[in-house]
Structure formats: structure tokens, C-alpha cells
Structure 1
Amino acid sequence: MKYVRIERPEPHVAIVRLDRPDRLNALSATMVGDLKAAFATLHRERGLRAIVLTGEGRGFCSGADLSGDPDHAPDAEGRGPVGHVYRSQEHLSELILAVHECEKPVIAAVHGAAVGGGLALALACDLRVADESARFGSVFIKVGLSSADVGTSYLLPRLVGPTRAAELMLTGRHFDAAEAYSWGLLNARVPAGEHLPAALELARSIATNSEYGVWMTKKGLWSGIGATSLRQQIELENRTQVLGTFTGNMAEAAAAFRERRTPTWRDM
């Protein structure tokens, strides 16, 4: 991969690092393809419990690459204006889905710019930490387009509420880590330069749990957010819990409690 690195700093945890610092990690078609490939690799990796997504250099991600460099999305080159733009839009949207639908919990470790597509990328993650240098913005409206783009209109209202999301999307204004934390958009707000250690600490806390537990908790959480009724979600929860008893981990947890030790989880 040209613009993305996968690092494995410790057992059960991976870092996906955007590595185009000279362009503030702007999302070129090649970088988007690299990120999709990275998440496809990690999506079903046995033993992996959590992924940290971060950016190299001075910022997380400055959004779509507007430099005009010739870098075409797959199946876009040679098409007419509508086809070219549509394929490019789909290419970026597929990345948001790849992050959000990854079976492993994804933690965004944000510093510097996270605007436009960079904000959408952070929103697609399950958890977010940011240092004091972080600046966010739903800035699509500032380039003459709609701020309802690449998942932002779905995720942002669910994370900060529709009233706040309406303000941020309609004005396109930037907001800092302090505001983001006060609205519940961030799990942690840390001093400058501490975003990656904070994200890794969160990843470790997740990684102490069982494969089945982490996997089904992420699935159940997002299913619950989209559920149309409490009864519908409880039916899913019931089946998930019954299935989980067959991993043997509930019995192991009870034994570990009695013996005052850490459980040794069985993988699926």
C-alpha cells in the first residue's frame, strides 16, 4: 500500500496509519483504495480485537484531495462527467462503510485537521479520542455541495443529536476538541501529542475481552441504534446471549471469579 501502513504494536491490537503527511493525509483515490484494502485485511483477522485509526504528520485527515492530481477511482477513468464523479463518490463512500462495518471495534486517534471526509472517517469509527490540536468540521457545504455526504448525515445526528448536527452541517464551521468532548463526540480529550497513547489504552481495555464478546457487542450496539423497537432489539439480544453460552466463556468467567484469577478466553 502506498499511503497506508498497518502496524502491530502489541497482541490483539493493530494501528492503521494514514501516511500522506505532505498533503495532510488528504483522501486521494489511491489512499482510499489503500484504506479499503487495509480494513479488508483486518476485518476477519483471528486474534485481533481492536484497531486504532490515526494520521501521520500534522493532522488526522484534511478530507478529499482537491489538488487535481490525476488519480482516478476504480472504473472512473474514461467515463463521462456524471459517471466519473459518481464512481469517485462511491469509492469514498465504500471506505466509510468498510470502517463502520469492520467486525473489529475501530478507535479514531485524532490530532490536527479532521474535516470533510476526515470528519466522516472519524465518525465511522466506533470510538474517538482527540488531542487539544484537533479541529473538526463538516465543511462540504463550504465547497458548494451538501454537508450530507459520505455518511455524515446518518452518523453525526446520532452522535451529537439532530439540533447540534444541523448547526454544524448548515454552517460548516470548525469546532475544536473541547466542544466535541462536551457534546459526547469524543471518548477522551487529551493533551497535545497524547492522542495515540490514549487510543491504544482504550484498545487494550477492549482487547482484554473475548473474541465473541467484542464481536457481538459491536454488532449489537449498532443494531440497537438502528432498531425500530425495544422488542426487536431484545429478540436479537436474547439469541446472541444464548449463542454465546456455547463458547464456554461464561463458565470460564465464573471459574475465574471463584479462583480469583483472570479468565482465559476460548476463541471461537
Structure 2
Amino acid sequence: RGPAAGGGFALALACDVRIAGESARFNAAFIRIGLTACDMGVSYFLPRAVGTSVASELMLTGRFINAQRAFATGLVSELMPDAEVDAAAAKLALEMTETSPLGLRLTKECLSLSIDAGSLEQAVAIEDRNQVLCVRAGYIEEGARAFLEKRKPRYAPRA
């Protein structure tokens, strides 16, 4: 909800998932105060979220992007009334915590690595490694049992 400018924008960009209320606005404010817009990871995350053209427009001008356009460009994954943002974020977080802890961590890692992978083969190699790690950790037994019993899995924390 509301503005996320400069450092706030950078923090939002560093999030894995961004949900916005209708009043949300974002900008790379540093360019407007005599600095570059390339600070706190904005130059890394923004082009990956919205593409080079939109990232260039926002970073070279410091323009605000409103919530509707942020949703249309993929900067945010969901757009909703301001009053619903907290509940939606809590629901999303709960859904993530219902997955195996190792599977969640390795999925995040693999997604980040695959964006810059040099080839499909490199991405698949990371995926294969992560599946082996998850199988060896034993989470698959509870996941399969829960699936067959038509219930949510109850993953025990592992070291």
C-alpha cells in the first residue's frame, strides 16, 4: 500500500513475491536526487521483474509506476484493494510454510540460479540435484502419504 520509493522500492524488489494494494506506487528515486538509480540491487532485480525496456524507463527517469501498471508488467504478482493486502500476504506465507522446508529453500535457490543459467541443461542439472537432495532428506514419504490420505502434509523440521 502506498509509495515504495528508493530504498523501499529496492526492498520490495528483493522479495520473492510482491502483492500490491491499489494505492501502491513504486519508483527508483535515487536518480531524482543526483545519484544513479542503480543502488541496493535495483539494477539486478528490476530488469528481471519487468524487462529491460520498462526497467530502463523507470530507472532513467525516476518515474513512479502505479499499482495497475506494476501488475500489468509483472512487477507485482497480485493486485487487490488495500484492505485485503495483509490477509492475502498471510495466506500466501501460510501456503509456503505448508511445503517441505528443504523443498521451499531449494526451489528459491534453483529459481534464482535458473534465471541466469547459461543453458537448459544447466538449469535441469540444478533441478535434478535438488530433487535428489529432497528425496534423501525423507520429505517425500510424508508428502506422498499426505497426498494419498488427501490431507495437508505435516513436515517435521530437520537439521
TM range (shorter): over 0.9
The answer on whether the counterparts of 2:13 and 2:42 sit within 8 Å (CA) in structure 1 is: yes
Partner residue of 1:156? 46
The answer to whether the aligner puts 1:140 opposite 2:140 as a matched pair is: no
Q: Which has the higher helix share?
A: 2
Is the contact made by 2:98 and 2:152 (CA closer than 8 Å) also made in structure 1? no
Aligned equivalent of 1:118: 8
Q: Which residue in 2 is equivalent to 1:185?
A: 75
Query: 1:154: how far off?
Result: 0.8
Question: By how many angstroms is 1:196 displaced?
Answer: 1.6
8 Å Cα contact 2:20-2:78 kept in structure 1: yes
Structure 2 unaligned segments of length 5 or more: list them.
Answer: none
Number of aligned residue pairs: 158
- What is the CA-CA distance between 1:256 and the residue it aligns to? 2.3
Query: Where do 1:99-110 residues align within 5 Å?
Result: none
- After TM superposition, the structure 1 = structure 2 runs for residues 25-36 of structure 1, keeping only pairs within 5 Å, are none
Structure 2 equivalent of residue 172 of structure 1: 62
RMSD (Å) for aligned C-alpha atoms: 1.3
Moved more, 181-190 or 191-200: 191-200
Aligned 1:1-268 pairs, distance under 5 A: 111-268=1-158
- Most deviating of 213-222 and 248-257: 248-257
Match of 1:253, as an amino acid? G
User: Greater RCO between the two (CA within 8 Å, min separation 6)?
Assistant: 2
Percent of residue pairs bearing the same amino acid type: 46
Q: Deviations over 1:36-78 (max 9, x none)?
A: xxxxxxxxxxxxxxxxxxxxxxxxxxxxxxxxxxxxxxxxxxx
Code of the aligned partner of 2:138 = G
1:6 equivalent in structure 2? none
TM-score, normalization by structure 2:
0.93
Rounded Cα–Cα distance in structure 2 between residues aligned with 1:189 and 1:215: 26
Tell me the distance in 1 between the aligned counterparts of 2:89 and 2:124: 31
Question: Shift of residue 208 of structure 1?
Answer: 1.0
State the TM-score, normalizing by the size of structure 1. 0.56
